[in-house]
Amino acid sequence: MNRRRRIYEGKAKILYEGPEPGTLVQHFKDDATAFNAKKKDVIEGKGVLNNRISEHIFNNLNAIGVPTHFIRRLNMREQLIREVEIIPLEVVVRNVAAGSLSQRLGLDEGTQLPRSIIEFYYKNDELNDPMVSEEHITAFGWAAPQEIDDIMSLAIRINDFLTGLFLGCGIRLIDFKIEFGRLYENDMLRIVLADEISPDSCRLWDIGSDEKLDKDRFRRDMGGLVEAYTEVARRLGIMSENEPLPARGPVLVK
Ligand code: UDP
């Protein structure tokens, strides 16, 4: 598994060289980080769940014609993806106030927004991923105006699709973060969805109880993260009721 050349290691994933030119293998780790990696832990089973949930979502997005980097899942922790040039932006789509938006504008968490809002953050850990506007993005050349248009229309389609997908299984999509890349295909350049979509990158609340089924359980020391992610996977129909929690290592019996 780890004999391949490592191209890049991030906080929750590793990218390895793929089997063919233009492909990479995306490996999901169990590492959890928050607040720009000031808070860290290893949560056994998280990587396996995110791999499966992200596979399900990317397959569905590919099926409705949203271009993505995803090719297929390879095993419990890895997926085959197309190599893209990552645009250095975190694109956040919000439907309901929470997290940094609530703090910034003094909105109660859970307040429905008048419409969906798209925000851009510059991907730079040293600077703590600062929020930026389209003006910054074009002035500094991180993306061209046409690319920003493509990103915004894809983000809206993805939001509409995900909102319906989660609503169908009793989950309210509060907000999420996505990343895009440039894919070069026969002299053509296309913007495609990259990275992952999982409970690590979304806020997901149970419709009935507002229970959090996402990474806020880790950020806010609530516990039960693997159980919450498993619940999301079960509701999406990815794992059957009886399937055991994934990737539990051997248990020491005393
Ligand atoms: N998010 C993410 N990675 C980041 C920052 C945010 O996946 O580095 C997601 C986060 O899980 C939430 C959404 O983007 O679903 C909006 O996050 P917010 O700006 O409220 O920041 P936070 O409160 O998480 O710091």
The protein residue with its alpha carbon nearest to ligand 1, atom 6, reads: 177
Q: What is the pLDDT along the chain (254 residues), one digit of tens a residue?
A: 557 999 999 999 999 999 999 999 999 999 999 999 999 999 999 999 999 999 999 999 999 999 999 999 999 999 999 999 999 999 999 999 999 999 999 999 999 999 999 999 999 999 999 999 999 999 999 999 999 999 999 999 999 999 999 999 999 999 999 999 999 988 999 999 999 999 999 999 999 999 999 999 999 999 999 999 999 999 999 976 556 555 555 666 65
Atom 24 of ligand 1: nearest residue by CA position: 99
How far is 130 from 95, CA to CA, in rounded Å? 21
User: Hey, which residues does 177 pair with through a beta bridge?
Assistant: 92
6-84+224-248: CATH architecture = 2-Layer Sandwich (3.30)
Q: Which atom of ligand 1 is nearest to the CA of 177?
A: 14
Which residue minimizes the CA distance to atom 19 of ligand 1? 100
Residues in the chain: 254
CA distance 138 to 201: 25
Architecture of domain 85-206: 2-Layer Sandwich (3.30)
Alpha helices by DSSP H, listed for 94-171, are 99-105, 134-139, 145-167
What does DSSP assign to residue 128? T
Phi-psi region of 66 (alpha: psi -120 to 50; beta: other; left: phi over 0): beta
Ligand 1: does its nearest atom lie under 6 Å from the Cβ of 177?
yes
CB 46 within 8 A of CB 38: no
Please report, in angstroms and rounded to a whole number, the separation of the first and last CA atoms in the chain. 32
Domain ranges of the chain: 6-84+224-248, 85-206
Written as six digits, the tokens of 66 are: 């949203």
